[in-house]
Amino acid sequence: MDSLPEEIFTELKQQFQKIKLHLPSSSNKHHEQQVQDSGDGIIKDDANLLETEFSLVASKLEEILTKLKTESSDYFLVLSMVGSILYEKSKMSLNTNNFEKSKEYLDKALGLIKGHMDNPQISFLYMRIINYLSFVHTRMGDLDSAKSHLESIVLSELKCEPNVYSTEDLFTRMKNEKNLDKTKVEKLMINNMQMLGWIYGKQGQGDLYADIIHKSLQKEMDLDDTDPIMWATRCYRLASLFLSQDKWENARYHLTAAQTVLDPLEVGMTPNILLFKTQAEMARVWVNYGLQLFSISKKSILQKMWEDSEEIKKPDVPVSTKPSYEFVGVEVKVPSIPAKEIENIQEARELFTHTHKWLKRARLFYTLRDYPLQYVNIILELSELYRYLAFYEKDLDSQYDVHKKRYETLETLSTILREVRPSCYQAVCVEIIREIMEVQIELMNLNLKRLYSPSDDADLDEDELQKRINTVAHINAKIDHLCNVDHSKTAVDLTGNEVSTQEIGEDTEEGVKQRKAETHDAGKNVEVTAKNGDGEGNDQKKES
């Protein structure tokens, strides 16, 4: 038989209409009420009826297929009908969580059409079956089989322009617009790429995951029918992966790309809670970018400080700041913030300013009233940001000012939580108190450095410094001699005179008075010695 008579198509259409009444997607009100009452996608009576109807249609199609010649114009149409019926039966089995039966139907359909995957009538059905079969494999825990099926179509190019249709379109012989057909093919391919990327991520193949997700984002961008908020969400989530891999230039680029797509929406759209939430989540990723880059940079500096000076250092390798993944068709203006380890205070201040800006944007959405825990985390991140900036500051006054701001931030948070959110304060009080204690210790250390470090304004020549050093060394030698002498025999007072241990150790009234007098005389002698050192009595008295 070269072609199918029209009456056969009519008969097949009528049989499919009977099946359609009992499918879950049917608009039949009686069916919907039964589904609600039973709580299942397909109730048992409908399942048995569908199985009977599917079997009748499948038998009819197989009979027709055996009579058609392979080169017939209707052969691949009937073949696609058989495959579509098996596809629908697979979906029905999956709705009842019968994974083995669903896989069996899909394997059978794939076996029928696999040799004709490059035929325009079969190509789209082949991609749909691969998509669904891969999903069934993932539900069964067989990620390797799912990955193998998806790679077979994702990593290869289409060799034809597929005819796009649903199962109903086949039996009603309806035709879609070419533009819609192309969009459906691209969306199906994007879905397959995303599923393959998900499998790569589950198996820990980060580089393959990043590559396939970036390509899927590029395909989505090429389509006019793309949700910009969902696209931006997937983009900054990919940036989070790059952060975990320390690929700063790629993370910075994809965060900027997401921002480029979202910013026009904020101006042109009416207030949208989903948009605001997406922007806040993106802001948190920007904050993580700054904190992680600061953390890695600080760790690297400390490691270099503790390295053995005799160790042969490896030559510095130039670091590329150009991203290895870029989008075509969109202008992404990357901000001038560091994308490598921070080495000086100028770079630290640039990164701090940029991160602080996004931290404030995140705080606009995550308020204390609506998101108390997220608000607390943002303030703690601000404290950590101040701590990193203080690490790079060289001037003691600048370090003190930064830590003071950090202390004021934490103290304000503690006060507000105690008064406004006491239950939240109890949950995080230990962390806040620990942070406040850490800042107080840092401030105390800085105050001690101020006291015992020479002032930058001091104008002392080399001779004057040497005199002060000699005076302190002389007093220190006397104290050392006093500490190291054998107390069983004699002791030496600060004037250099030897006295008996019995005289020093007696607690009589005369002994106490004698020790006070000797100490007073020793103080005078030290003062005279200091004066003889450089002739400046008042200054050296303070030094003594």
| Cβ 9 vs Cβ 173: under 8 Å | yes
* pLDDT tens-digit map of 422-468: 877 777 888 888 889 998 898 888 888 877 765 555 555 667 667 65
pLDDT band at 324 (very low <50, low <70, confident <90, very high): confident
Higher pLDDT, 121 or 354: 354
- Residue 214 is predicted with a pLDDT of 95
Integer Cα distance of 197 and 217 in angstroms:
12
Alpha-carbon distance of 148 to 142, in angstroms, equals 10
Please state which of the ranges 41-55, 223-237, 389-403, 435-449 shows the lowest mean pLDDT: 41-55
When pLDDT is averaged across residues 494-523 and rounded to a whole number, the result is 44
Token pair, residue 321, equals 């700041």
Q: Which residue has the higher pLDDT, 537 or 400?
A: 400
pLDDT in tens, 186-239: 999 999 999 999 999 999 999 999 999 999 999 999 887 789 999 999 999 999
pLDDT single digits (tens) 144-156: 999 999 999 998 8
Whether 119 contacts 75, CB under 8 Å:
no
**Better pLDDT: 314 or 178:** 178
Q: What is the pLDDT of residues 65-74, one digit of tens each?
A: 777 777 777 8
Structure confidence at residue 402 (pLDDT): 93
d(CA 76, CA 80): 6
- Cβ–Cβ under 8 Å, residues 236 and 282: yes
Per-residue pLDDT tens digits for 341-354: 999 999 999 999 99
Q: Give the model's pLDDT for residue 3.
A: 66
From the options 2.40.50, 1.10.3470, 1.25.40, 3.40.630, give the CATH code of 6-181.
1.25.40
Which residue from 431, 320, 454, 304 is spatially nearest to 379, judged by alpha carbons? 431
For residue 278, pLDDT beyond 70: yes
| Domain range summary for the chain, segments of one domain joined by + | 6-181, 471-543
d(CA 56, CA 51): 9
Beta strands in 396-502 (DSSP E): 490-492, 498-500
Percent of the chain with pLDDT over 90: 38
In terms of Cβ atoms closer than 10 Å to its own Cβ (0-12, 13-18, 19+), residue 471 is: buried
Please tell me the pTM assigned to this model. Answer: 0.74
- Average pLDDT, integer, range 526-538: 40
